[in-house]
């Protein structure tokens, strides 16, 4: 088979590229998907009891008009629910509103002072040199008190790597920087300080979970353009030829890969062994999603909550989403059921016992006062994704700079959450736009922005 454009993977990046090619009037393309359904890491699952689960706490907010218009086209105006973000941190047996650093008035006086003293220390002795890693960035931004109380333990639970192994380039708009004046005023006047950041309101599909969006985008692309159960075994770069696991050969002119870059380079013939070896240095963490379907109703304090962060070590999870609050259709019967979805990270630096994870999660949910009794649990779901988060490690940018250009002589471009390995542009909107911009580049010679210039892409938020 010959196609001008071949796309590996049918997650948001692959579907974004396919949709854009079709929009440009191009039909000479195919999407290869190794699974038996589309969606990549944005799929949703329905368990045996009728509870819907996502691959983690996806929420829909956007930096791009193009993305917003496509979402509207995919599900229609009445296919979405809009929520006010309400996120909290569970610490010292209490809920503290997020961003944590603006709401330390909720803590015990000792902890509050420890955090405040650290912020004051930073104002008195500012660190003017560029942080060499994420640990240094945390200390320079929050001070030692907030670092030890929240930022260090929480970030280790999320990333599954110590912060000194990570760079500080990815942070961008994702973390609210500490303002001594604001924090002090909140303490003295006992003020809450909730809404911050790019996703203070967000959307969620009425039906079908996050996966429902991408099923609809797949329909817009045309199902005949997606070849399921198509595992790419090998890419012979100099010949621009793909060999699938079933032996089928596909010739391409332009190839966009969204498979994890480390794994993909192992399959490309024509790449020098040094480049392949270098790509193996990219770090990632795995994601364990545990869904807990419950009978009854959530307690009053959880009725409007979206998600909660858990820095303490008694719980395996770092984040819990009240998933039934996102859409009543995420549970079999909203008058009788509700649901919690938890995320637990895993890596060689932070192993997880997957065998006991469901039991460990339920025990911690009771300890953390989210559920009252294990008797309320009527359904559990556990799915592990070996590639959950691309880690913005200290060596990442150097590796990408060396590896990505080596693919281009073979007409290969690697994009998306794990194809380009840039966490800071790997939300659903970013991922889709990486695909759209690749299509614009190869079909219309329009330069890309999102993948090469993450800061520019994120600065466009709200435009």
Average pLDDT estimate for 48-54:
97
Flag whether 301 is in a domain: no
Flag whether 255 is in a domain: yes
pLDDT tens across 204-224, in order?
Answer: 999 999 999 999 999 999 999
Flag whether 416 is in a domain: yes
Range of the domain at 244: 2-43+210-282+392-459
pLDDT tens across 259-284, in order?
Answer: 999 999 999 999 999 999 999 999 99
Do 271 and 408 lie in one domain? The reply is yes
Do 15 and 159 lie in one domain? The reply is no
Do 181 and 218 lie in one domain? The reply is no
Measured distance CA(315)–CA(447) in Å, rounded:
45
Measured distance CA(30)–CA(15) in Å, rounded:
10
Measured distance CA(407)–CA(410) in Å, rounded:
6
With bands split at pLDDT 50, 70 and 90, how would you rate the model's confidence at 228? very high
Do 108 and 175 lie in one domain? The reply is yes
Average pLDDT estimate for 383-400:
97
Looking at the structure of the chain, the number of domains it has is 2
Burial letters for 87-96: b for 16+ Cβ neighbours within 10 Å, e otherwise?
A: bbbbbeeebb
Flag whether 37 is in a domain: yes
Average pLDDT estimate for 45-56:
94
Residue 462: pLDDT over 50? no
Do 168 and 218 lie in one domain? The reply is no
Instruction: Quote the mean pLDDT of the chain.
Output: 94
With bands split at pLDDT 50, 70 and 90, how would you rate the model's confidence at 460? low
Do 214 and 262 lie in one domain? The reply is yes
pLDDT tens across 338-368, in order?
Answer: 999 999 999 999 999 999 999 999 999 999 9
Q: The CATH number of the domain where 36 resides is what?
A: 3.50.50.60
Flag whether 382 is in a domain: no
Is residue 240 a contact partner of residue 251, using CB atoms and an 8 Å limit? yes
Domain final residue, candidates 188, 221, 239: 188
Flag whether 436 is in a domain: yes
Do 252 and 125 lie in one domain? The reply is no
Residue 172: pLDDT over 60? no
Domain final residue, candidates 157, 188, 219: 188
Do 234 and 113 lie in one domain? The reply is no
Domain final residue, candidates 136, 154, 188: 188
pLDDT at position 187, please? Answer: 87
Flag whether 116 is in a domain: yes
**How many C-beta atoms surround the C-beta of residue 270 within 10 A?**
15
Do 107 and 184 lie in one domain? The reply is yes
Do 148 and 216 lie in one domain? The reply is no
Flag whether 256 is in a domain: yes
Do 121 and 263 lie in one domain? The reply is no
Do 153 and 21 lie in one domain? The reply is no
């Amino acid at each position: 088979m010959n196609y001008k454009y071949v796309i590996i993977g049918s997650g948001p990046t692959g579907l974004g590229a396919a949709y854009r090619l079709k929009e440009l009037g191009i039909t000479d393309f195919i999407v290869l998907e190794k699974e038996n359904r589309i969606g990549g890491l944005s799929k949703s699952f329905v368990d045996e009891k009728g509870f819907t689960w996502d691959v983690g706490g996806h929420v829909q907010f956007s930096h791009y008009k193009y993305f917003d218009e496509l979402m509207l086209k995919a599900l229609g105006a009445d296919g979405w629910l809009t929520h006010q973000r309400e996120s909290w941190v569970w610490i010292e047996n209490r809920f503290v509103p997020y961003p944590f650093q603006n709401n330390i008035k909720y803590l015990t006086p000792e902890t509050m002072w420890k955090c405040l003293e650290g912020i004051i220390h930073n104002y008195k002795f500012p660190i003017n040199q560029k942080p060499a890693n994420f640990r240094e960035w945390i200390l320079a931004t929050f001070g030692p008190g907030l670092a030890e109380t929240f930022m260090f333990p929480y970030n280790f639970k999320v990333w599954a790597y110590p912060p000194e192994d990570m760079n500080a380039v990815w942070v961008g708009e994702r973390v609210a920087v500490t303002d001594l004046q604001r924090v002090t005023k909140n303490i003295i006047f006992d003020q809450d300080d909730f809404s911050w950041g790019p996703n203070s309101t967000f959307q969620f599909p009425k039906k079908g979970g996050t996966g429902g969006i991408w099923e609809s985008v797949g329909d817009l692309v045309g199902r005949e353009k997606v070849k399921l159960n198509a595992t790419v075994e090998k890419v012979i770069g100099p010949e621009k030829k793909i060999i699938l696991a079933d032996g089928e050969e596909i010739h391409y002119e332009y190839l966009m890969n969204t498979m994890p870059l480390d794994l993909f380079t192992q399959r490309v013939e024509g790449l020098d062994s040094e480049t392949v070896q270098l790509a193996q240095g990219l770090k990632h963490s795995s994601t364990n999603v545990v869904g807990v379907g419950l009978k009854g109703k959530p307690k009053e304090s959880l009725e409007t909550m979206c998600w909660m962060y858990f820095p303490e070590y008694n719980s395996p999870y770092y984040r819990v989403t009240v998933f039934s609050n996102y859409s009543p259709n995420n549970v079999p019967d909203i008058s009788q059921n509700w649901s919690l979805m938890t995320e637990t990270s895993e890596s060689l630096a932070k192993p997880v016992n997957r065998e006991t994870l469901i039991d460990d999660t339920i025990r911690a949910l009771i300890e953390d006062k989210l559920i009252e009794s294990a008797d309320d649990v009527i359904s559990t779901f556990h799915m592990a994704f070996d590639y959950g988060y691309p880690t913005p490690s200290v060596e990442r940018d150097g590796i990408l700079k060396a590896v990505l250009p080596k693919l281009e002589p073979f007409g290969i471009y690697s994009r998306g959450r794990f194809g380009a390995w840039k966490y800071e542009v790997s939300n659903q909107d970013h991922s889709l736009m990486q695909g759209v911009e690749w299509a614009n580049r190869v079909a219309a010679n329009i330069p890309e922005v999102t993948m090469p210039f993450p800061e520019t892409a994120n600065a466009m938020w709200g435009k």
